[in-house]
Chain A
Amino acid sequence: MNQAVKWVFYLIVLLFLAAIPFLMSDFFTTMTTRVMYFSLMAISFAFLAGQVGLISLAVPAFLGVAGYTIAILETREILFFPYSAIAALGMVLVAAAIFGIFVNRSQGIYFLMLTLILGQIVWAVALQWASVTNGSNGLIGITRPEVMQFTVAGQEVGFYYILLLTVLLVTFGVLALTRSSFGMKLKGIRESESRMIMLGYPVMRMKWIAFMISAFIAGLSGIFLVYYIGVMHPSAIDLDSAAMVLIAVIFGGIYSIVGAIIGMGIVQTFEIFLSAFTSRYMIIIALMFLFVVMYAPKGIMGSIYKIKFMDALYQKWYTGRKKR
């Protein structure tokens, strides 16, 4: 019965998401698209934060590496989709591999600081290396590849569907990963790194791989961002973006992948809706954030998991234990 309910629920959500371009206004579709590509960044963050216990502020940097790789290759007409996207992901993995070597030697606040610095380095390079990145003017004129432009029943849904599919695949992929033996080991590292080392696990290597996975997902979000808005600009990867991801994930619940998506949805939606009424909307978001941190420190998903059935799921997926 549990299974059936679960699948019915998934099906409803999926159908609803798939139907958005037809049912809702263009505005709503645009906003959903935006929430989705930012969600990828949130998932990337939440995966590291929730599973391994590492708060990485370098997530937007990987978005930047992917975005800039595509932007540079395509505006200079060197490579085009899909090769540019492959090159972008390759660049992200290389960058993450190198960054990973440095940052994985640290934990906690030091990890946060190192990733902050790396993120700022990428941002500064994007801003200052103007002959390649065009500096604060940003690179423009990146067009969406034709594969992403197909229409269904007169609605241009190509980009939306491909993004939706990617988000779903990534979400379920990451959820599956958290339940795999690799995920369990990551949780072990989160709980006690020294014990995992003592048990003989290659902790360094596993953290490194987790860092690469997280970077890869952030890279995916960069690809969609750059194709969607057609502009790559340093402001997309500055400290504000890192803070935005952090706030969104804390909103949703830092130990939850689904929570990351919901949190990002809430933050983005509030930004757009409130800003139509007042230009001081940031105050309202900040107040909400304050309440969330004070009264629901595990975020929105934390509150949802207080429901018994959801809690069972939570125990199963995130702590790796089954409560009896």
Chain B
Amino acid sequence: MNIKWKHVSFAVLGASLLAVTSACTEEMETELEEEMDDGVTEDEGSAESDTEDDADDGDEAEEAGAIQIGVVGPMTGGFAAYGEKVEKGVELALSEVDHTFNGNEITTVVEDSQADAEQLMTRLDSLRDRNEVDIVIGPSTGDEGEAAASWAQNNEDTLIMPGYSAPEDMTMRDASDNLLRAGWTGSQTIFHFGKYVAEEMGHERIVMVGQDYAYPWDQAAGFKRGFFENGGEEVHTIWHPTDTLEFSAIMGELQGMADEYDAVLLNSGGADAIAFYEAWEQYGMDESYPQMLGGTNVADIPILEEVSDNFEGVYSSMHYSESLDHEENVEFRENYAEMHGEEADGIALQGYDTMRVILDALEETDGDTSDTAALSEAIRDMEVGDSPRGAFTFDEYGHAVQDIYIKRVDLVDGELQNEVVETYEEVSQFGPYEDYQDEYMAQPGNERDFPADTAEEYFEDLEEYFGEEYMNELEEGGIWE
């Protein structure tokens, strides 16, 4: 009896194990097929001819002509807004074309990367193997950016377009042909803000308070370069850990050195920035520092909705401003608000633009998603003229070259809004170093204490990495014209 039991239990265990595993794989396949079948409504003939060269028998998706696009980014947790807003932007772009391309349905598969590099790799693998997507939009935070660049290098037949990730190396030192970014880098948006603060606003010594991780370091680096090279003296940096909500100590420190410094630059984002401004008001810091400056994410719409009206007058810079009054932007904001019931911002814009760039590229390849090289080629040659942010193109590394707006927060009809006060046109990810790309990339990556905090040390480093020639050109004023 005993032995019988054992046999039975083992048999049941083994059988169920096999059943479960085989069921899992079958399920996935049938599901995929079903989804594909939905896509085949008309135009079957043209769809088949589109994918003739695709001999891969696993690619039922493409035989049916339907297009699947993976969207990956943090959809849960503290960074969820970054992933979700990109997805909402993508949805808006797709709804404009009724989720179809040449009569074939376009579907999205959303994966949650939890802002975790290791998770992101798994999700990307899932999208590739399980859903067999050829185009991925994402990821959306800085933490995941470099991991995505690494994945892109190893998966050359998948086109990957980051959502809101801003690490510059993704399209610089670790660039690959199949990773293209219709977005921004931490430094790109702020190079000229440094120049503006030094030249137009006349500040010489700045205190910068920022979160202690890679994205604010990039921002600090870009700002310092623009600031020092145009007459700034010192940027005193105070770094605090991410998710700091108690700023009393920092307020005390700031008050203590109010005599030495002209303005405070808040190099932060999200809840930290809101908490900082609350403390700022409580301590009456406006008296010590009449001028507050912001990093790219500080004057973002979700933050403007939270802070008091005294936030008026904060300067910042970005590649988008909600107050741009050309038709595309007005339309984009209206449609977005109607579809999702919230205000559009830079994050949503980037999802929207990225999806539209992909759609335009599909026009070029007649809906063929399998030829990544052709898609990449089409995007690189593209001149996007109808984006809500203004016109932009792509550089040889696959990163957007776009206008950078210096913005001031103004109170318009009782609501805080970013007004554009100055536009710097066609800024690439190298900013003013367009002609010195190799030198720029040869220097070490941005860090909390590189570039240096004072102009003196900064120019020593600058001469070391960029050489005599650059210094001469800088002196003649040829760099920042």
Residues of A within 8 A of B (CB): 1-2, 5, 9, 12, 16, 24-28, 30, 34, 127-128, 130-131, 134-138, 140-141, 225, 229-231, 233, 235-236, 240, 272-273, 275-276, 279-282, 307-309
Contacts and interface: CB of A to CB of B under 8 A. Distances in A.
Interface in B57-86: 75-76
A272 B114 CA distance: 12
B306 interface: no
Interface string B2-14: 1101110110001
Contact of B7 (A5, A27, A233, A236): A5
B112 A127 contact: no
A140 B146 contact: yes
A263 B114 CA distance: 21
Contacts of B129: 25-27, 30
A50 to B, nearest CB: 22
Given A130-B448, A138-B146, A231-B146, A275 B112 contact: yes
Given A140-B149, A236-B117, A279 B76 contact: yes
Interface residue SS majority, chain B: helix
Contacts of B7: 5
Nearest to B75: A279
Contacts of B142: 136-137
B213 A140 contact: no
Contacts of A272: 122, 126
Interface string B351-364: 00000000000000
B118 A135 contact: no
A135 B215 CA distance: 10
Interface residues on B, range: 35 or more
Given A5-B7, A5-B10, A138-B146, A27 B169 contact: no
B14 A137 contact: no
Task: Name which of A16, A136, A276 has the most chain B CB atoms within 10 A of its CB.
Answer: A136
A28 B123 CA distance: 13
Given A136-B214, A231-B117, A231-B121, 13 more contacts: A27-B125, A28-B24, A128-B212, A137-B143, A229-B117, A230-B151, A235-B115, A235-B116, A235-B119, A240-B114, A276-B130, A279-B75, A279-B110
Contacts of B125: 27, 30
A127 B215 CA distance: 13
User: Lowest 3 CB-CB distances: which A-B pairs, in order?
Assistant: A233-B117, A27-B129, A140-B150
B403 to A, nearest CB: 27
B447 A131 contact: yes
B109 A276 contact: yes
Nearest to A142: B150
A309 B9 contact: yes
A2 B10 CA distance: 12
A134 B445 contact: yes
Contact of A137 (B17, B119, B145, B153): B145
22 contacts: A2-B6, A25-B28, A25-B130, A27-B28, A30-B126, A128-B212, A130-B447, A134-B146, A135-B213, A138-B117, A138-B146, A138-B147, A140-B146, A141-B174, A229-B122, A233-B118, A233-B146, A272-B122, A272-B126, A275-B111, A282-B76, A309-B9
B48 to A, nearest CB: 24
B126 A309 contact: no
A4 to B, nearest CB: 10
Contacts of B130: 25, 27, 276
